[in-house]
């Protein structure tokens, strides 16, 4: 018998998206799989949806995943989405499942980790302390200070041309209200947000940033959120400078932190080079698949 697909009420609504969910169960009512469909709502992203499907290993190849996918695709089309994307770990069965149902691979991401137990302190410190004529570093914890908020929001366009291959990612629209709201979400869940930024000395504006989120207890692994430099200021090593300073400060402030995590598109050669120079070690790869609706 085909699985029973039950729509669920999902409270996962945020300022930038809402989420639909389904539960798959067998004829006896035992849960065998689930699907979550995130519908992005912000301007520049409201053409896309993101799908997560999980099926119990013993129930694969029995139609459970296909039934969940059908429900999600129908919902995305009803909401007038242009594309549906889903990520899987490279080499997992998920890639073959998506490809067989019309998805095409559009993006590859390399995940990497910098172990803090034995980092190359001398190299990182040397990069962080290297002068960059015309520029200076600044930093803050949590919400951006009011006097920097406007140019910090403007610097977020550094991510607009981030290499994302053919993922149809869209363009994020940032303003002061949004950068403050994002920081507050991180703080409200109990984590710490630390930002290192580059200031153009000629006018005092922020031209690049590097964000790091640290678990509230200061242990385990921290996660890099974003590092970007405005196009007109690239070519001066500012991305490497900021990330090295972030590492240096984090090691001093959080002695019990064990590592820093990052993920980068395989087509983003400059950022991959920065990670390599700082000692990040690849852990795994993920592949993004896209279905045009």
pLDDT per position as a tens digit, 120-166 = 788 999 999 999 999 999 999 999 999 999 999 999 999 887 766 66
Each residue of 17-39: pLDDT tens digit? 899 999 999 988 999 999 999 99
Phi, psi for residue 46 in degrees, rounded to 5: -80, 15
Letter string b/e over residues 271-281, b meaning 16 or more CB atoms within 10 A of that residue's CB:
bbebbebbbbe
CATH of residue 49's domain is 3.40.630.30
Select from 31, 60, 81 the last residue of a domain: 81
Specify if 89 maps to a domain: no
Q: What percent of the chain has pLDDT over 70?
A: 96
pLDDT of residue 117: 83
DSSP letter, residue 232:
G
Specify if 104 maps to a domain: no
* Mean pLDDT to the nearest integer, 184-205: 96
Domain enclosing residue 12, as ranges: 4-81
Domain shared by 76 and 167, yes or no: no
User: DSSP E strands: which ranges in the chain?
Assistant: 4-8, 17-25, 31-40, 48-55, 83-89, 104-115, 135-141, 192-200, 205-214, 220-229, 257-265, 281-292
**Given pLDDT bands bounded at 50, 70 and 90, which one contains residue 85?**
very high
Domain shared by 154 and 274, yes or no: yes
């Amino acid at each position: 018998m085909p699985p029973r697909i039950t729509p669920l009420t999902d409270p996962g609504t945020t300022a930038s998206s809402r989420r639909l969910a389904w539960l798959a169960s067998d004829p006896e009512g035992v849960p065998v799989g689930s699907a979550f469909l995130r519908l992005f709502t912000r301007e520049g992203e409201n053409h896309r949806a993101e799908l997560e499907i999980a099926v119990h290993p013993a129930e694969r190849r029995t139609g459970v995943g296909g039934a969940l996918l059908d429900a999600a695709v129908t919902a995305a089309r009803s909401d007038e989405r242009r594309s549906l994307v889903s990520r899987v770990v490279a080499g997992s069965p998920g890639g073959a499942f998506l490809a067989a149902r019309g998805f095409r691979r559009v993006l590859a991401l390399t995940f990497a980790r910098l172990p803090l137990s034995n980092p190359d302190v001398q190299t990182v410190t040397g990069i962080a302390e290297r002068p960059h004529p015309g520029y200076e570093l600044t930093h803050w914890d949590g919400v951006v200070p009011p006097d920097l908020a406007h140019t910090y929001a403007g610097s977020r366009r550094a991510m607009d041309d981030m290499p994302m291959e053919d993922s149809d990612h869209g363009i994020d629209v940032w303003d002061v209200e949004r950068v403050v709201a994002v920081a507050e979400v991180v703080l409200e869940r109990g984590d710490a947000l630390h930002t290192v930024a580059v200031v153009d000395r000629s006018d005092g504006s922020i031209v690049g940033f590097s964000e790091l989120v640290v678990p509230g207890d200061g242990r385990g692994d921290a996660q890099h959120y974003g590092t970007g430099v405005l196009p007109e200021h690239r070519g001066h090593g500012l991305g490497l400078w900021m990330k090295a300073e972030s590492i240096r400060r984090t090691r001093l402030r959080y002695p019990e932190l064990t590592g820093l995590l990052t993920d980068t598109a395989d087509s983003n050669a400059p950022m991959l080079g920065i990670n390599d120079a700082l000692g990040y070690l690849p852990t795994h790869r993920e592949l993004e698949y896209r279905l045009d609706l």
